[in-house]
Structure 1
């Protein structure tokens, strides 16, 4: 049976078919006209009543008010009440906003893309200050922030000259509760139990049960001049994962010494069908334990002075135990022998889809992983009103993240050989492998040095930001400008990444698993794989291993530090005027940014020249640069009618490169003779970082039209265009090698006769580098509507819907292939239906993003670029009841089910090597992960 699967390139032009509106986009457009007419009729006979709004509607009204009143184009999500954001994490809540999409990490929404641009293009601030990242780059990991401690999140889609730490795609501003904005004491206690539908997959891991407990306190003292808000949130959340992964595909017959027989010929030259080198299926049980604290202390003794100190602290621990069954077909160790072969065609590649392979072996892995994150953020802001309508502001900030990991892998193998039978490799989710070996019997499985894959790694990450801001604002009268604000901000950021790797070696090639370390068999039921394997306690066998350092050459990628000093001078004029009969508000401003960056790292000499000094050694290296950016911005909001707003934005923006791309390290930097027999050479390196890498830069144009219906309904349409002046992608580029050690005993750096005026310290390296730009553009439709706008019979019902259609046009790489924009999804949509009345509430939400590529980093700190992630659609549900009167007033009950349909995370990738009949860009099934559904049941009490 033959099958064919195709994928549309993310860079494809807007074809006629692609311009057709999806159902969600059509719904937005229809609602724009229908609700406008109905609302106009209702307004004629409306009677004004004072209504106290709570629950879902309160969160919606607060979000709409923030969007409506902003001078910039923004999206917002607000808590329904103190300690009650609408989702279990702020990442989930943010991902439901128009034009935003989440990327799941270990089943949890963590990274956020804005308008088709990946997490690295966005800025993140906490209460207006740039926030650290516990990853290797700059992108914030939003699942680190407890949703119970966040009051509101604002996403700026257009820049504001006074906002520091902005991104190129947008900026996420996380805001805690401010106590002086409330009146009276408020205490909220929240308790929930959690269960994962998969239960306990690993006998040594978490049991699939967890809990969430939070408490918050808000009050004012001394005649409302002192305010205190403090909240604590504890999370103990299970994670259960089923995963299938195919090893690399390719046409290996006759390649690199590979041994394979029985591979079908394609009849074109020496081309043969492609096949996978093997597979692995695994189950993982994990536990995430997070304790978060957020506090705000405000002091406002009079109308002229205001001071606020805010603190955020999070301690996040993660433990994972994984059990693997892997099948190695023996391609590199004796040869794979295929029989009973069936093939299928997938994206232009003919692959072996089913059959039997002999000559391989079964392997059983145990992986233990522990990660601990500490994040601290502290800020102190003071505002003082001076004479002549001036207000002075001083803001001091400090943010720090520490992340420590320990990863241990112990490997065993089946003692007896045996064929592996497989089928369904051409389609995701249907892959099946089986073996006649009994891998659940410890007598048939032993710890092994063959292959020598047992290892331990201990990466650490440290990120620290210190900032100081001083600004002044003066109110103006009698002109088109209502105020002027100017100031300066200084930020110093230091990031350090260290990863040590160790080999774990047994005293002999194979060692039996000690009885004291044995645990119960593990059922690995993943897709079509149904197997049972032995398991053991990894800490219990560590005494059998000798631990020695390994892979010294990896230090050029895995050990580095980046230091930045950024000075930003800014000025902004607030606009408040009329254009004829149309009121106009907004702002015009500019940031002048000076960046000084420096990076440390290591150069690796592989010892390719026998007898050369320093062979096989690491030498410390550093480098850096400085540059200036001038970033103007304009935001205009035209009040065409009291409830109709048109917006215009024009700006220049930037996003600094990933921290790991700025590393100084390089692999095998050396001199290569300019010509045979020459004593002069030119510099080259196999790969590394680029400390003088400069930002992504872009000019942007934004348009938006927003129609509001009272406080809790609106429809909007927006269009944007970003011209990328500078883009970063992997390429052959030039680097200054003046600081590098020359290991050659015979060569010195010099120019060739053909290029006598060269700089002898300049050489070539393949790395991420600045190149020509491109463009990103798109449309966004969104609506939040109450059912009562259409008919009183729908009172209490509501819908929130959005659709984003994004395209890009990018340059091609050095080989003429299209460049995939990191995090880019052409279609993103969100749909939420809710009902709330008489204390009862229910909500069902779906978010969807079309296929995208992403840069991911493994625990080995190896970058996997252009990972193709298939379309994702996640469905979440919640229902609750709040007692509005009687002895239980203040109590509310809640049931939540996340990932209701157990939507898988699917990744594909192209083959490693193909003949003339194959396609290296044709995506093949690779990874499939299922995380189960999470059920939470609990109660909240407010008094």
Structure 2
């Protein structure tokens, strides 16, 4: 594995030569632009070029700096999910979850920094944060996605890095009836990895209908999409490295002094099935030019069933007898001496079978009415409701190999992709692989989430007779958001150890093959043996992190002036506005009381606690669009922006709140807690400046260069901070007070380790993007085209209060994408590649435990499609499409420094996952 040292910005622009070539192509082809424009005005464009032209049209017409994705046709976005489409936009990147692009980062900043709306209304999240999971939105039901990189005073729910707005098709914007049907079969290249898991075959079916009635005063659209998608994954994880003998006194023998070794490993196959049924509908009514009303609705039910067959090798560094190493080989890796090969005795083979189910139910509805009072005044009312429910169930059972201890041979532990493990024990024989209580990992976990947003918005607008301002808008938006998270956890115990797996539950064997690992393990039906276990409540103190509710009441008042004037001979459009955002937030949760004071009530239980805050933010914004020459625009944006904290970081729960005497023998004590949430946590806040220069050539080509700068006023990171403990029970004989040195303090304030606000820092970068139609250069290249972008982002943050470097969650320094396509005479083909450099991410497991600062390696994914559309004859309207996603089977890899000893900042292999290729073949018919 190569050392990962940061390089300079210009060195990381991997497609810089392409960008330069694109610029030369456009300059040389500028003379053809008018000819191409005149031609395309008389041609009905469909397919790939229609999607590109729609996106460019939205970008060009906007007064803001935006990016856009437009459907190629009704019910036909170009990708399997909208997450794929969004991830290729300039400055945007996707983070994969179980192999599927899901969360979206804008301009190097993680998903939590972005706002998410559907048709202009805030959208719920089925997770425990705020970031939307975009793979849950069927691409077939989305007509357009707008990504606002600069804010607008009338846009509610904005983020710090940008805002993603999902738009359905509005039926009165179309001419005549349109209907389409899509059918595709899907196959994963890994096939069926687990004997007791789902197959590698699935399907996708969608249908859309749109029409107008009553002399085009009523419009109606509806779309349905069904997804039955296979998921297959090969996962490897090396238990973290460390100098456990020299630093922590492990009894292992045969390890070189000062080396770092892994405690063990897990290698698993995961077979899953994702099923989603989505429905989106819009009803419009426009009886005259003075009144319009529309109702839009979205519904999605997303279920996931996942089976994991996992081989675990516990090397037994602390066991008795402890692990004994021989034939040890070491490697030097990023400042660490790594034990990379050898043989180890006295280990334990563990087979860990898991069954996981998840159901997400998302509903969103909105009703907007607009009334024109007179030629100048217009009012509108917008009511919205969005709700998400998510339920999960994890069952985990454990078996070990008998008899005796295991011997492992290993190699390649200095490599991410080629680790090798083998063992002397047979892991396929039911007589030797038995269910066990040691280790006691068997469990049942049932997390649940609900998230609901209710919104009400009143808006008024008046046209102005001014040489500077063309319109004024003002209004108020009220949003109520309530999120509840709960997780019940149970330990599962057998009546006695080493129980045979019932014959009716056996499911054959699973082959674990990845890197230099090739081993077979026994598989069984986990739910079928649940009756063998007795469930008891597990870790009641975890309620401090896993049971909480967040309630927000946000009132946003806004005003905006639209600018339409001339600066000399230069037309200037834009807007000037401000938002006043008043927030009331309240969190309910639990604190763990482990008081050992004799007779103290409530010892060994959780105690309800609460907390919250009120604050107001004023967010001014300015957007100016200068048309320097025909089709040459310079856009400038300046604003103050914010992003609300993750909701799980706002939980009220805390661990072991207690009073500690300020001095020996004192009856006065100060509060402290080991860890918890911070219910008065405030947002990330920043002042931003944006600039974009854009040149358009006809309808399907442009080049653009953009720069941005964000000065962070506040950000959020884990630190030791203060919290108000006035609502916590006091079980000690101490009275909350102040140290002698600070008699004026608030006695209810104490210390806690939690996510809290910091100050200072900046994020800045630049973006280059282009869409090039080959006919700009020569008519011979008509039908060919390329869309490309590259962005580089940097950040400078102060050190935390312990002097350590702070990593922005989800921050990638370099993001680029390139798409080459050909479309003519019914034939079409496209190949796309997207890349993001290594980044730090917070991952949230189903056990609600957050892992901060995991280093995810650079990722590059390639997708391909080939199609043919019948443009005339009896089959007109029929299209055939072949898609291959993840063509190179790109891995997802994570690295981390040693847990103890060695060079703590020297990254070592940790997790390595691959998900196979997706093949889709199908047809669509439009009529």
Q: TM-score range by the shorter chain?
A: over 0.9
Q: Could you tell me how far apart the structure 2 residues matched to 1:298 and 1:353 are?
A: 66
- Displacement after TM superposition at 1:37 (Å): 3.1
Q: Secondary structure at the match of 1:419?
A: strand
Cα distance in 2 for residues equivalent to 1:190 and 1:284:
29
| Cα separation, 2, equivalents of 1:42 and 1:638 | 21
Question: Deviation at 1:436?
Answer: 1.0
CA distance in 1, matches of 2:412, 2:546: 38
Report deviation, 1:258: 2.3
Match of 1:876 among 827, 841, 863: 863
Matches within 5 A, 1:829-844: 829-844=816-831
Q: Distance in 2 between matches of 1:414 and 1:814?
A: 48
1:930-941 correspondence to structure 2 within 5 Å = 930-941=914-925
Change in 2 beyond 3 A, CA 1:80/1:676: same
Q: 1:39 maps to what in 2?
A: 30
Match of 1:445 among 433, 436, 443: 433
Deviations, residues 233-263 of structure 1 (Å, cap 9, x unaligned): 0000000000000112111115445221111
Work out the CA distance in 2 between the residues paired with 1:356 and 1:46. Answer: 70
Paired position in structure 2 for 1:7:
4
1:282-330 superposed Cα distances (whole Å, 9 cap, x missing partner): 0011000000000000000000000000000000000000000000001
Question: Is residue 726 of structure 1 aligned with residue 700 of structure 2?
Answer: no
- Name the residue aligned to 1:117: 109
Match 1:291 to one of 277, 285, 288 = 277
User: Could you tell me whether the CA contact under 8 Å between 1:244 and 1:527 is conserved in 2?
Assistant: no
Counterparts of residues 345-364 of structure 1 (less than 5 Å): 345-364=332-351
CA distance in 2, matches of 1:322, 1:449: 19
- Alpha-carbon separation, structure 1, partners of 2:667 and 2:157: 49
What is aligned with 2:837?
850
C-alpha distance in 1 between matches for 2:13 and 2:611: 50
The equivalent of 1:715 in structure 2 is 703
Asked if the contact 1:103–1:111 (Cα under 8 Å) also holds between the matched residues in 2, the reply is yes
- Counterpart of 1:827 in structure 2 is 814
Partners of 1:514 and 1:46 in 2: how far apart? 72
- Structure 1 residues 70 and 548, CA, compared in 2 at 3 Å: closer, same or farther? same
Residue 863 (structure 2) pairs with residue 863 (structure 1):
no
Q: Is residue 795 of structure 1 aligned with residue 792 of structure 2?
A: no
Quote the Cα distance in structure 1 between the aligned partners of 2:546 and 2:105. 26
Shift of 1:349: 1.4
Report the 3-state secondary structure (helix = DSSP H, G, I; strand = E; otherwise coil) of the residue aligned with 1:570: strand
Are 1:926 and 2:910 matched, yes or no?
Answer: yes
- Report the Cα offset of residue 43 of structure 1: 3.6
3-state DSSP of counterpart to 1:360: strand
Q: Which residue of 2 aligns with 1:412?
A: 399
Corresponding residue to 2:484 among 487, 496, 500: 496
Aligned residue number for residue 307 of structure 2: 321
- SS class of match (1:511): coil
For residues 700-731 of structure 1, what are the alpha-carbon distances to aligned partners after superposition, in whole Å with 9 as ceiling and x for unaligned? 00000000000100000000000000010001
Matches of 1:558 and 1:610, distance apart in 2: 28
Summarize deviations over 1:492-527 as a string: whole Å, max 9, x none: 000000001000000112211111111111111122
Secondary structure in structure 1 of the residue aligned to 2:499: strand
Indicate the SS of the match to 1:343: strand
Are the equivalent residues in 1 in contact too, given 2:37–2:699 (CA < 8 A)? no
Indicate the larger mover: 504-513 or 712-721.
Answer: 504-513
Alignment of 1:591 with 2:579, yes or no, is: yes
- How far 1:45 moved relative to its partner? 9.8
1:254-265 matches, within 5 Å, as: 254-265=246-257
Structure 1 residue 29: Cα displacement: 3.1
Aligned residue for 2:289?
303
Q: What's the CA shift for 1:332?
A: 2.8
Alignment of 1:26 with 2:17, yes or no, is yes
Q: Match of 1:268?
A: none
1:179 to 171, 174, 178: 171
What SS is found at the alignment partner of 2:244? coil
Structure 2 partner of 1:808: 795
What's the offset of the Cα at 1:333? 2.3
Counterpart-to-counterpart distance in 2, 1:311 and 1:388: 31
Candidates 880, 886, 899, aligned match of 1:912: 899
1:79 pairs with one of 71, 74, 77:
71
Within 5 Å, give how 1:69-108 maps onto structure 2.
69-108=61-100
Instruction: Give the conservation status (yes or no) of the 8 Å contact 2:411–2:419.
Output: yes
Q: Is the 8 A contact 1:28 1:715 kept in 2?
A: no
Aligned to 2:594: 606
Distance 2:619 2:633 in 1: 26
Q: Which residue of 2 aligns with 1:390?
A: 377
Q: Which residue of 1 aligns with 2:466?
A: 478
**Structure 2 length as normaliser, TM-score?**
0.98
The CA distance in 2 between the partners of 1:676 and 1:26, in whole Å, is 70
**Which aligned pairs between 1:183-582 and structure 2 lie closer than 5 A?**
183-265=175-257, 272-334=258-320, 335-416=322-403, 417-582=405-570
After TM superposition, give the deviation of residue 32 of structure 1 in Å.
2.1
| Residue 621 in structure 1 maps to residue 613 in structure 2 | no
CA contact (8 A) 2:34 2:698 kept: no
Q: CA deviation at 1:46?
A: 7.9
| TM-aligned CA deviation for residue 400 of structure 1 | 0.0
Within 5 Å, which residues of 2 pair with 1:90-169?
90-169=82-161
Contact 1:59/1:79, CA 8 A, preserved across alignment: yes
Q: Which of 663, 683, 693 is equivalent to 1:695? A: 683
Unaligned runs of 5+ in 2: none
1:400-430 deviations in Å (ceiling 9; x for gaps): 0000000010000011322111010011111
Contact 1:179 1:218 in 2 (8 A): yes
Specify the SS of the correspondent of 1:253.
helix
Q: By how many angstroms is 1:552 displaced?
A: 0.4
Q: Secondary structure at the match of 1:785?
A: strand
Q: RMSD over aligned Cα, in angstroms?
A: 1.2
Establish whether residue 672 from structure 1 lines up as the match of residue 660 from structure 2: yes
Q: CA deviation at 1:44?
A: 7.4
Equivalence for 1:269 = none
For 2:276 and 2:345, locate their aligned partners in 1 and report how far apart those are by CA, in whole Å: 47
The answer to whether the Cα contact below 8 Å between 2:13 and 2:791 also exists between their aligned partners in 1 is: no
CA contact (8 A) 2:196 2:525 kept: yes
Deviation digits for residues 195-250 of structure 1, max 9, x if unmatched? Answer: 00000001111110000000010000000000000000000000000000011211
More moved, 750-759 vs 138-147: 750-759
Residue 155 of structure 1 aligns to a residue in which SS? Answer: strand
CA distance in 1, matches of 2:241, 2:42: 66
Verify the 8 A CA contact 1:149 1:232 in the aligned structure 2. yes
1:61 corresponding residue in structure 2: 53
Offset at 1:34?
3.0
Counterpart secondary structure, 1:36: helix
In the aligned structure 1, how far is the partner of 2:643 from the partner of 2:854?
22
**Equivalent-residue separation in structure 2 for 1:137 and 1:22 (angstroms):** 32
Please give the per-residue CA displacement for 1:366-413, whole angstroms capped at 9, x wherever unaligned.
000000000000000000001251110100000000000000100000
2:32·2:776 contact (CA, 8 Å) conserved in 1? no
Kept in 2: contact 1:25–1:802 (CA 8 A) = no
Gaps of 5+ in 1: 266-271
| Equivalent residues of 1:226, 1:300 under 8 A apart | yes
| Cα separation, partners in 2 of 1:680 and 1:23, compared to 1, 3 Å | closer
Instruction: Give the length in aligned residue pairs.
Output: 924
Give 1:740's match in structure 2, choosing from 704, 707, 728. 728
- Maintained 8 Å contact 1:476/1:482: yes
Describe the SS at the equivalent of 1:332: coil
TM-score by length of 1: 0.97
Deviation of 1:25 (Å) = 2.5
Q: Is the 8 A contact 1:282 1:526 kept in 2?
A: no
SS at structure 2 position matched to 1:34:
helix
